[in-house]
């Protein structure tokens, strides 16, 4: 039985991704091991040296680094990511709560970035050199230049402490409301599925400001790449030919030109995944959002090695999967690449 070339390509990329993830896990575990603070001392600051040595033995911290890493990878392949010394829970149990929070924030943030960045880039390309292009480029520069931490703190100060138009930045939901029953892990969706529209609205209000801050970092790369790709597409011969035939500008811009610009735009989305996950750590810390990024930051400050290594491994896995999906999507976007796979 002949294996399709596209399947061979996907399997090859998966194999490369696994090798990369093993390397990333080794580096992440080594970095966590070399942190200056000690998890035993951080958790039990008043114990004696003998008690500290016994605790390190029970935790397996007295073993050589290679032995600890091999034991960690064996447990990872069994689906056991170890135990967090900070929370006292299994890392997998903590992640089951925090990953949906980060995904909900990231999805809303990326959606905002696309809804703003794509039109900005398209307008800049269509009116290239005009005042609309200059305005979009200035807005793009502002979005790129504002640090997420500074913007989050500033918005909290003005919109919450001064104007009182946004809810308190205390996480996903007000303490006065009970969380909806978990179906998807997204409070907005679960509340709507349960018919608790007041909770859905409250969760959405809590989500809007951090999603805006996170999504602002998506606007700039999307708008910049869209403008460049659309500018090139609008100068192609098939667009000139379409205009000569009298086709409507809307069809040429939103249909033909945008389809021709899809590959660089989709490629940019693959790189954005890493930026969003990195930016989520800052945004979650500022807004007390109980997600993966805040969990990782807390684990780093307390030298909690199992959560640190697992979070880095998850982020690297997300980037690898995103890049794989981007590469595979080329075959569905560009017929030339699809024909190459079919040969």
Q: Give the count of domains, the chain.
A: 2
Looking at residue 113, its pLDDT comes to: 92
Q: Is residue 107 part of a domain?
A: yes
Is residue 279 within 8 A of residue 217, CB to CB? The reply is yes
Looking at residue 340, its pLDDT comes to: 61
Mark whether 271 and 150 lie in a shared domain: yes
Is residue 184 within 8 A of residue 100, CB to CB? The reply is yes
Is residue 206 within 8 A of residue 173, CB to CB? The reply is yes
- Neighbour-count burial for 254-288, b at 16+ CB within 10 Å, e otherwise: eebbbebbbbbbbbbbbebbebbbebbbbbbbbbe
**5-33 vs 305-333: helix axis angle to the nearest 10?**
160
Q: Measured between alpha carbons, how far is 56 from 53 in angstroms, rounded to an integer?
A: 5
- Encoding tokens for residue 178? 């009970």
Q: Is residue 88 part of a domain?
A: no
Task: Give the closest residue to 110 by CA, choosing from 213, 24, 35, 22.
Answer: 213
Q: Which domain holds residue 49?
A: 1-76+302-343
Q: Is residue 89 part of a domain?
A: no
Q: Measured between alpha carbons, how far is 155 from 221 in angstroms, rounded to an integer?
A: 23
Looking at residue 118, its pLDDT comes to: 92
Mark whether 222 and 103 lie in a shared domain: yes
- Encoding tokens for residue 291? 């997600």
Instruction: Tell me phi and psi for residue 242, to 5 degrees.
Output: -65, -40
Mark whether 156 and 294 lie in a shared domain: yes
Q: Is residue 286 part of a domain?
A: yes
What's the alpha-carbon Rg for the chain, to the nearest Å?
24
The enclosing domain of 186 has a CATH number of 1.10.3720.10
Looking at residue 237, its pLDDT comes to: 85
What would the pLDDT profile of 310-326 be if each residue is shown by its tens digit?
A: 888 888 888 878 887 88
**305-333 vs 91-126: helix axis angle to the nearest 10?**
40
Mark whether 174 and 104 lie in a shared domain: yes
Residue 278 CB partners (closer than 8 Å, separation 6+): 315
Q: Is residue 83 part of a domain?
A: no
Mark whether 70 and 103 lie in a shared domain: no
Mark whether 240 and 206 lie in a shared domain: yes
Mark whether 103 and 211 lie in a shared domain: yes
Mark whether 285 and 314 lie in a shared domain: no
SS3 labels along the chain:
CCCCHHHHHHHHHHHHHHHHHHHHHHHHHHHHHCCCCCHHHHHCCCCCHHHHHHHHHHHCCCCCHHHHHHHHHHHHHCCCCCECCCCCCEHHHHHHHHHHHHHHHHHHHHHHHHHHHHHHHHHHHHCCCCHHHHHHHHHHHHHHHCCHHHHHHHHHHHHHHHCCCCCCCCCCCCCCCCCCCCCCCCHHHHHHHCCCHHHHHHHHHHHHHHHHHHHHHHHHHHHHHHHHHHHHHHCCHHHHHHHHCCCCHHHHHHHHHHHHCHHHHHHHHHHHHHHHHHHHHHHHHHCCCCCHHHHHHHHHHCCCHHHHHHHHHHHHHHHHHHHHHHHHHHHHHCHHHHHHHHC
Q: Is residue 85 part of a domain?
A: no
Looking at residue 116, its pLDDT comes to: 93
Looking at residue 267, its pLDDT comes to: 85
Mark whether 297 and 309 lie in a shared domain: no
What would the pLDDT profile of 228-262 be if each residue is shown by its tens digit?
A: 999 888 888 888 888 888 878 888 888 888 888 88
**Would you call 104 exposed, middle or buried from its count of C-beta atoms within 10 A (0-12, 13-18, 19+)?**
buried
CB half-sphere exposure, 282, CA atoms < 13 A: 15
Mark whether 117 and 265 lie in a shared domain: yes
Mark whether 322 and 292 lie in a shared domain: no
Q: Is residue 1 part of a domain?
A: yes
Q: Is residue 155 part of a domain?
A: yes
Mark whether 237 and 167 lie in a shared domain: yes
Which residues of the chain register pLDDT less than 50? Answer: none
């Amino acid at each position: 039985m002949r294996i399709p070339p596209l399947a061979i390509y996907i399997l090859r990329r998966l194999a490369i991704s696994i090798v990369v993830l093993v390397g990333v896990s080794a580096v992440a575990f080594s970095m966590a091991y070399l942190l200056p603070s000690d998890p035993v001392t951080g958790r039990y600051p008043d114990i004696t040296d003998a008690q500290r040595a016994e605790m390190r033995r029970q935790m397996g911290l007295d073993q050589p680094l290679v032995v600890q890493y091999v034991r960690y990878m064996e447990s990872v392949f069994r689906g056991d990511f170890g135990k967090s010394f900070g929370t006292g829970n299994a890392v997998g149990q903590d992640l089951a709560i925090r990953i949906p929070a980060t995904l909900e924030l990231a999805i809303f943030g990326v959606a905002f970035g696309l809804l703003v960045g794509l039109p900005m880039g398209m307008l800049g390309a269509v009116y290239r050199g005009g005042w609309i292009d200059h305005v979009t480029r200035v807005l793009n520069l502002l979005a790129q230049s504002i640090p997420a931490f500074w913007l989050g703190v500033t918005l909290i100060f003005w919109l919450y402490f001064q104007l009182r138009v946004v809810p308190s930045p205390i996480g996903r939901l007000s303490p006065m409301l009970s969380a909806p029953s978990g179906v998807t892990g997204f409070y907005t969706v679960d509340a709507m599925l349960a018919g608790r529209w007041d909770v859905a609205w409250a969760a959405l209000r809590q989500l809007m400001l951090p999603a805006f801050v996170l999504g602002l970092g998506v606007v700039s790369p999307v708008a910049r790449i869209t403008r460049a790709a659309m500018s090139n597409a609008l100068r192609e011969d098939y667009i000139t030919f379409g205009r000569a035939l009298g086709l409507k500008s809307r069809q040429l811009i939103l249909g033909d030109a945008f389809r021709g610009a899809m590959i660089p735009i989709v490629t940019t989305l693959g790189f954005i995944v890493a930026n969003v996950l990195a930016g989520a750590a800052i945004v979650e810390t500022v807004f007390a959002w109980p997600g993966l990024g805040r969990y990782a930051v807390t684990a780093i400050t307390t030298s909690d090695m199992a959560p640190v290594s697992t979070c880095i491994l998850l982020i690297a896995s997300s980037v690898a999967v995103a890049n794989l999906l981007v590469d595979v999507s080329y075959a569905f976007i560009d017929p030339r690449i699809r024909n190459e796979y079919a040969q």
